[in-house]
Amino acid sequence: MVNVHEDRLVAYVTGRAPEDMREFLERSLPGYMIPASVTVLDSLPVTVNGKTDRAALPAPAPQRRGGRPGGGPRTAVEQALAAGFAQVLGVSRIGVGDNFFHLGGDSIRAVQLVAALRDEGWTVSLRDVFNAPTVAGLAALAQPLRPGAGPGQELAAQAFSLLAAEDRAALPPGVADAYPMASMQLSMVFHMEIGVTSSYHNVNSYRIAAGLDQEAFTRAVAEAVRRHPVLRTGLDISGFSEPLQLVYAEVPAPVEFEDLSGHDAEGQDDAVRAVFERHRRSPFDLLEPPLFRITVQRLDQEAFQLTISEHHAILDGWSFTSLLSELLDRHAELSADPAGRAAPAPESTFREFVAAERQAAADQESLAYWRDRLAGVRGGLWPGTGDPHDVPVTHDRVLPARRSSCGWSPPPRACRSRRLPWPRTSGPCDRSPAAP
């Protein structure tokens, strides 16, 4: 069986270790889908119901070290690549012939490798990693990175650099930056605004096992809003020559508090559900940032409820989880040390992503690649009525334990709201959501 351990695919087998497993799997699977390790067990653990007990599986067999095939790195770029392999994979003794995926790499780690190499002054694309996954192969493709010249950075080096002059002249007061909307944002807003679905209005609620410091939490939210332009962003889809996202210099921290410590358990539960429903039934005005809201309810001295609603066009799943972690971590830090300094703003901006996407959309080689990959794709998905169908709007979810102001806390319980549409069958189309 295959399981995920620390974001890595690992395999467990019974009997004896398979020979030439990788070579066998490579006949039908891409490298990033092949398990990084194989652990041999006498038997697989099972639950009382006879199903495989994944939680009882032991830690996988240790990663093997690189065998230095082809010898050690010689040039500066080979040394940087070998160091990047070692950093991302946790494997020592990397040789120029070592294959990134044979040593446990996957698609997630390929992204991390590209980022690590960029930090060291070299640029390779994800396609390069998949097509030439050895140190020697990538060394022939890597290019030195000019200072500040990441994807989209030259084109998007300054605020308003992606705007037409007439659009910049028409911006409202208080806007510190503006740039076009990304294609995925446009898709989300389009389907929300025409009323096909409310899937992109997300509400999450978590019971946090930690004491609440109201002032510290307010500061944590305000700092996050200052650090991340997307949290100060509104979306204008019709007021300019193209749909724009407008980043305001200042917006209020959208956080409110309620003290439920005097309520019994049933009263607290009713109050939490009422806040959850209010968030779920309160749509955002795209022109009025911030496009997220937070309600914090104190339950007792050792727990509080955190409910967050946000428009999916400003936060994807990864970004939302990062924001949640940042808020909770910063709340704990400020509770312990109110004089603690705020973290600096991230070096990269969403403006750079927009610029990189627009460059890719105009790149004939990129377009040819996707046309080839999507040749024959049709718009039809599966039969449906075309009308949204409600699925259960809440479910329990457990987040990993984290450090709070009270030390390590148990995992908070979470509920989540989302209304999902069944896809609608359509005819052939010239564009696909997968295309740039």
**Which CATH number does the domain housing residue 174 bear?**
3.30.559.10
Alpha carbon of residue 26 to chain centroid: 28
In a domain, 435, yes or no: no
Ranges of beta strands (E only) in 244-393 are 244-248, 255-259, 292-300, 303-311
Do 215 and 346 share a domain, yes or no? yes
Do 50 and 137 share a domain, yes or no? no
Our CA angle for 342, 348, 350, nearest 5°, is 105
In a domain, 429, yes or no: no
How far is Cα 83 from Cα 72, in angstroms, rounded to an integer? 11
Do 306 and 248 share a domain, yes or no? yes
In a domain, 175, yes or no: yes
Question: What is the token pair recorded at 71?
Answer: 């010898």
State which residues form the domain around 117.
Answer: 76-144
- Residue 146's pLDDT is what? 54
Note whether 2 and 9 are within 8 A (CB): yes
In a domain, 150, yes or no: no
- What SS3 class is residue 1? coil
Sheet holding 8-14, edge to edge: 2-5, 8-14, 38-41
Do 44 and 80 share a domain, yes or no? no
pTM for the predicted model, two decimal places:
0.60
- Other CB atoms closer than 10 Å to residue 6's CB: what's the count? 9
How far is Cα 198 from Cα 33, in angstroms, rounded to an integer? 33
Give the sign of the dihedral formed by CA 288, CA 192, CA 346, CA 225.
Answer: positive
In the block, tokens 């460059």 appear at 359
Model confidence over 310-362: pLDDT tens digits? Answer: 999 999 888 999 999 999 999 999 999 999 888 888 877 888 889 888 888 88
**Which CATH number does the domain housing residue 114 bear?**
1.10.1200.10
Do 96 and 187 share a domain, yes or no? no
- Residue 60's pLDDT is what? 73
Do 130 and 191 share a domain, yes or no? no
Lowest mean pLDDT among 112-121, 148-157, 241-250, 288-297: 148-157
DSSP conformation letters of 234-265: EEESSSSSS-EEEEES-----EEEEE-TTS-H
Question: What is the token pair recorded at 197?
Answer: 């679905």
Helix or strand holding residue 416 (H, E): strand 413-417
- SS3 of 42-57: the string is CCCCECCCCCECHHHC
Model confidence over 149-191: pLDDT tens digits? Answer: 444 444 445 788 899 999 999 999 999 999 999 999 999 998 8
- SS3 of 180-241: the string is ECCHHHHHHHHHHHCCCCCCCEEEEEEEECCCCCHHHHHHHHHHHHHHCHHHHEEEECCCCC
Lowest mean pLDDT among 133-137, 324-328, 395-399: 395-399
In a domain, 398, yes or no: yes
